[in-house]
Amino acid sequence: MNAPIRDLHVSPRSDWTRAEIAALFALSFPELMFRAASVHRAHFDPSEVQTSTLISIKTGGCPEDCGYCSQSSKYDTGLKASKLMEVQAVLADAARAKAAGASRFCMGAAWRNPKDKDLDAVCAMVEGVRELGMETCVTLGMLTPPQAARLKQAGLDYYNHNLDTSPEHYAEVITTRTYQDRLDTLEAVREAGIHVCCGGIVGMGESASDRVGLIHALATLPVHPQSVPINALVPIAGTPQEKAQALGSFDFVRMIAVARITMPKSMVRLSAGREAMSEETQALCFLAGANSIFYGARLLTTPNAEADGDQALFARLGLTVMQAPPRA
C-alpha cells in the first residue's frame, strides 16, 4: 500500500536517495499526481504559471559536442553562426516580450565559456532588462567565480546551466566537458548569490534509471535550483540525437511530478518540446506541479508553442500569468 500523503516531505531536503526517487516513479499514476499536486499547493498557487521568453543572443559555432544541439560546430545542422547581438536589439526584444506578457527574459549564447570581454555587453543587457522590470536569466556556458561575481554585480537574477541527464548517461551525450565541470559552474553561481536555473532533457535514449539519476543529481545539490526546466528532446537533423525515440507522455508527466515532489519550492518549468505536446499532456503537467513555461515562438533555435495558443490554453484551464516578484 502506498504511504499516506502525511508521510510525504513537503519541505526542501537534499538527502533524497535514489531508492526513494525510484519509489516515487513507481507509484500509480493517480497516486503520484495526487502527491505532486498536494506538494505544489503547499508552496504555490496552483492556478498561476510564470512565463519566460528565451532568445539567442549569440547563435551557433559552439565547440562543444552536445549530441542534441543544433548550435554545435561539430555537426552539420544547416545553422549559420552569428556574432553577439547588439545590446539595443536585445532590449527591444525584451520590451516586446514584456508587452506580450513575459515576466522573465532569458538570454542564451552558444559559448563553451564566455571571454571576459564578452561580459561587458552581456552585463549591459542584464542591466537594461532589469530596468524594464523583468527578471533576468542568461546561459553562457561554463563560468569562473570572478565571472559569476561580475554578473551578480550587474543584477543577474538567474543563471541557467543544465545537468542534461544522469551522471551515468552523460558521456553518451557529451564528451567535451564533464559532469563535474557543470557542477563547478553551479557552485560558482551559488557562491555569487545568483539564483540557479538547472534541469535536464529527457528522450535522449536514457533508461528509466537515468531519469531517476537526473532527479537525484538535481535534488541533492547543496541548494535546490530555484528554477528546474524539464525539457523533452526536440530532435535536430544532423545531430547524433536526430533519431531518438520520443519519451511517452505519461513518462514525461512523471518527470514533472517527481521534480515537484523532490524540489517542492522550485519553479518547475515545462520547457522544450511543448509544441509537440497535446493540450491534455500540458494540462497534466500543470496538474503535476509545472508552474513555469517558455513563452514565445522560439527557444534559441527550435520552435516553441505560439503565445496566442498558450493564452487560449490558459483561459480554458483557468490559469493566470504569475506576476514578476518585487525587487529585493
In the beta sheet, which residues pair with residue 54? 106
Residue labelled with grid coordinates 557562491: 191
Q: Which three cell numbers stand for residue 116?
A: 571576459
Residue 3 is classified by DSSP as P
62 is catalytic: yes
Candidate list 35, 123, 130, 137, residue with the active-site label:
137
Residue 117 is classified by DSSP as T
Candidate list 106, 123, 198, 285, residue with the active-site label:
106
List Cβ neighbours of 21 (8 Å cut-off, separation of 6 or more): 212, 215, 216, 219, 258, 262
CB atoms within 10 A of CB 67: 22
285 is catalytic: no
Cβ contact 108:54 at 8 Å: yes
Closest C-alpha to 213, from 179, 248, 264: 179
69 is catalytic: yes
Residue labelled with grid coordinates 499532456: 281
Residue 30 is classified by DSSP as H
198 is catalytic: no
Cβ contact 251:288 at 8 Å: no
Candidate list 35, 104, 123, 197, residue with the active-site label:
197
Query: Measured between alpha carbons, how far is 174 from 155 in angstroms, rounded to an integer?
Result: 31
Residue labelled with grid coordinates 557543470: 182
- For 63, phi and psi rounded to 5 degrees? -80, -5
3-state secondary structure of 108: strand
Catalogue the active-site residues: 62, 66, 69, 106, 137, 197, 269
